[in-house]
Amino acid sequence: MQAIDREPSPPTTTLGYALFATRWLQAPLYFGLVAAQGVYVYKFFNELWALILRCVTGQATETYVMLAVLKLVDVVMIANLLIMVIVGGYETFVSRIGLQGHRDQPEWLSHVNSNVLKVKLATAIVGISSVHLLQMFVDVHRTSHHSLLWGTVIHMAFIASAAILAYMSGPMAAQTERGHQQTHHEPAPEEPAAKVFVPAQAAPREDEPSAEERLRAAGFPARKLLEDFDSEHPRVFDRETVARLGKLDFVGVGRNVVFVGPPGTGKTHLAVGLGVRACQAGHSVLFASAAQWAARLAGAREAGRLAQELAALDEHPLLIVDEVGYTPFDAETAALFFQLIAHRYERASLIVTSDRPLGRWDEIFGGPSALAMVDRLAHHAELVRIEGDSYRMRRATSAWAD
């Protein structure tokens, strides 16, 4: 008996695990529901086909069409209910599906637990029963008073039970929340079962650095804020784009930002302003000048660990490369930048500032690699062009004039 030799675990735990493992007995039930879903798909197209046929042959009265469409809506709503039970039930009672971050993840799935599921089901049933009731009223001449009365009463009962469930799940959820907070001070003897299934992604991890720590680690030359930028000063400035960028939707979806304009027009200010916001929003940011990035990447390449360095930079959803173009790069440095941009392409974001328009980047990077690089960088980039006099000069001259 090797297993016993290897695992001297107490029998109660083993028993508990064995009981817990029986949840997998439920799994086939959900696949059965998938089959039922298939039946509804068949029923839907049957009804739809009948409706089309009657319309084409001119036998469809207005009431018939309305009833048939209501029936289709009914089928779809029941199908919705089914998918909710299948996905939500499987996730809650059997096993995590791991949809976090999936683009089609239903909004309720991230906070699904048995309470949420119950309320969702109850409201879905109310929806279905209202469609049924509506069908009765549309076809009122052929519905008996008796059915109408009971239809209404049952519908009311569904509404009442949904309302009660929703009301009860409020205090219950609040209690779960309180219990959760308490565990930080004194571990509660028993955790509510539902809490176990609430995904932890929303709660901040305790070992995560604070916004202040992220700001310090980012290496900004000075803390410039977007709010302090005077958008009246530049002659050309796309205020709307910068305001939209300030919402940080570009971070993490792998979009880039390129600020282009003459010296002193606030490119670094804006790049840092976005970086500060990103830090405050929980993103890790690294700021350095293009020359510093070049040195860092060259160092990594010499040590034979460029690939690891690039992979390590993936930890930071936003890198800022300031002052591209102040000094032209040799072919090797250009190649390093190309690798950086190619590596982060559609994976993580870059903010680049430059006093040269993209069309003249061949002067910085030389030759065809510049073209390919601009292509990659600009493909998913917001290009913000700033034109105007240097802000530094303005302050100097106005101070002088005073």
345 binds, among ligand ADP, Mg ion, none (CB under 5 to 8 A by kind): none
Nearer to ligand ADP, 90 or 259 (CB): 259
Residue type at 255?
Answer: R
Question: Residue 114: in which H helix or E strand, if any?
Answer: helix 114-138
Contact between 326 and ligand ADP (CB under 6 A)?
no
Provide the b/e sequence for 266-295 (b: ≥16 CB within 10 Å): bbbbbbbbbbbbbbeeebbbbbbbbbebbe
Residue choice 129, 265, 289, 333 for contact with ligand ADP (CB under 6 A):
265
Contact between 391 and ligand ADP (CB under 6 A)?
yes
Beta strands in 250-377 (DSSP E): 256-260, 285-289, 318-324, 349-354
Judged on CB neighbours under 10 Å (0-12, 13-18, 19+), 115 is buried
**DSSP character at residue 205:** P
71 binds, among ligand ADP, Mg ion, none (CB under 5 to 8 A by kind): none
177 binds, among ligand ADP, Mg ion, none (CB under 5 to 8 A by kind): none
Contact between 266 and ligand ADP (CB under 6 A)?
yes
Residue pair 299/255 in contact (Cβ under 8 Å)? The answer is no
Residue choice 113, 115, 268, 289 for contact with Mg ion (CB under 5 A):
268
Angle at 21 between CA 17 and CA 22, to 5 degrees: 125
Single out the segment in contact with Mg ion by CB under 5 A; choices: 84-92, 199-207, 230-238, 260-268: 260-268
Binding residues among 330-369 for ligand ADP as defined by CB under 6 A: 353
Nearer to Mg ion, 155 or 267 (CB): 267
Nearer to ligand ADP, 198 or 350 (CB): 350
Task: State the helix-helix crossing angle for 267-280 and 211-218, rounded to 10 degrees.
Answer: 150
**Could you tell me the smallest distance in angstroms from the CB atom of residue 300 to Mg ion?**
25
In angstroms, the CA 277 to CA 223 distance is: 11
Single out the segment in contact with ligand ADP by CB under 6 A; choices: 85-93, 127-135, 172-180, 226-234: 226-234
Interaction site with ligand ADP (CB under 6 A): 224, 228-230, 233-234, 261, 263-269, 353, 391-392
Interaction site with Mg ion (CB under 5 A): 268
